[in-house]
Structure 1
Amino acid sequence: MEVVYRFSQPQLKWSAFGHWRESMAAIHRDWLFDRSSLTGRLRALSDDEFEVIPLREAVGPILPEECRVLGLQPGVLGWIREVYLTGFGRPWVYARSVINHRDVEESDSTLLQLGNVPLGSLLFGEKPYKRSEIEVCRYRDACNASSRAAYPLWARRSVFSRGQTRVLVHEMFLPALWEELS
């Protein structure tokens, strides 16, 4: 399955909570700015009918904007993972994680072989990672996704770090999730 969501389009305006406080519905704020495990929330919402569907796990070029956020030189290769997080068999969230795999410490090497294991189980596990500020953007012109006016496409990103390991996590909240919550 080819996925072409773009988290690094130049026209995307990533902003922190204060920017969106007044213009975003309360339900969207609640989900987008929640700092707890998204995996945990989706499991609860789906009565444990939750699944991670891997779309891509491979070494590839880290996009220029991702390099900027991670503090890397442009053109660096990294470990790219793209998945759907599903509930009741419906894709609720499209997620892309990016790691400069050369900086992954030995204790974090399981990040590079997750398969259908949720990334959140490691990031929020026994030795949790520290999470940066959450930034959010609204997609007006999303690729490969239909969006009704009632269910705008929102995405968030943050960097998780522990020791030398840094993981940039993008999550796009798809219309099926908002439908489930309405």
Structure 2
Amino acid sequence: MPAMSRPHFWRHPLCLAPRALHPWLTEAGSLTARLKKSFPALRVRVLRQGWQRPVRDELCELRLQRPEAFAAVREVLLLDGDVPLVFAHSATPRQALRGGFHLLERTGSRPLGALLFADPTITRSPLAWCRVDRRHPLWRRAKLAAGPLPPRLWARRSVFFSGRDRLLVTEVFLPATNPKTV
């Protein structure tokens, strides 16, 4: 499996994250499945799904050469009832929708992890972590979706591989998963 190149931004040491957040940040299996154990009323709200330009720090991970390139992007909120827990952002190049990640377009309000972890041919890169703040586009999108947020939040990301196709998944942990994220 190719290594994730991890721009310097995504190399924050995990030890800097609040200890209570470590189990969420390091979950190797489906984050959604783990969240369901702690939050039985967990549901997925699809915020957007379609073509858009990836965030700049995603270009390398997706092997997109041009900043003006478009990717298939899906953004969701994972909620406990009406309480936002995680803002999730997934991006994949156009050709992956004709290949290994063709089911992405038909995911609807189902958790993406249910598809990814059900297919034994899909592999995953190691996780990378960082603290995002209002300068990062995903913090700003999470704020639009979830409302007021602390100035800094912890996020993790990894690349899923299906053959040569890539799907980058980033999860931003909102205050309800750990009130001490500020």
Query: Normalising TM by the smaller chain, what interval?
Result: 0.7 to 0.9
1:134: which partner in 2? Answer: 127
Give identity over the alignment, percent. 33
**Cα offset for 1:61?**
1.8
SS in 1 for 2:17: coil
The residue correspondences of 1:112-127 to structure 2 (distance < 5 A) are 112-127=105-120
Is residue 154–residue 173 contact of structure 1 (8 Å, CA) maintained in 2? yes
Give the Å deviation of 1:126. Answer: 3.7
Structure-2 change in CA distance of 1:63 and 1:138 (3 Å): closer
Query: 1:103: which partner in 2?
Result: 96
CA distance, structure 2, for counterparts of residue 64 and residue 166 of structure 1? 16
Give, as a single letter, the amino acid of the residue that structure 1 aligns with 2:157: R
Partners in 2 of 1:140 and 1:111 — Cα distance? Answer: 28
What secondary structure, in the 3-state scheme, does the structure 2 residue paired with 1:72 have? Answer: coil
The residue type paired with residue 178 of structure 1 is N
How well do the aligned residues superpose, as a CA RMSD in angstroms? 2.2
**TM-score normalised by length of structure 2:** 0.79
More helix by share: 2
- Residue 164 in structure 1 maps to residue 145 in structure 2: no
Match for 2:11 among 10, 15, 35?
A: 15
Which amino acid in 1 is paired with 2:9? K
Matching of residue 92 in structure 1 with residue 95 in structure 2: no
Structure 1, unpaired ranges of 5+:
1-9
Q: CA deviation at 1:90?
A: 1.1
Displacement of 1:170? 0.7
Name the TM-score, length of structure 1 as normaliser.
Answer: 0.79
Instruction: Report the alpha carbon displacement of residue 128 of structure 1 after superposing the two structures with TM.
Output: 5.2
Distance 2:100 2:133 in 1: 40
State the 1:121 CA deviation.
0.3
Instruction: Give the match's secondary structure for 2:52.
Output: strand
The aligned amino acid for 1:132 is S
Query: Which consecutive aligned stretches of 4+ in structure 1 deviate over 4 angstroms post-superposition?
Result: none
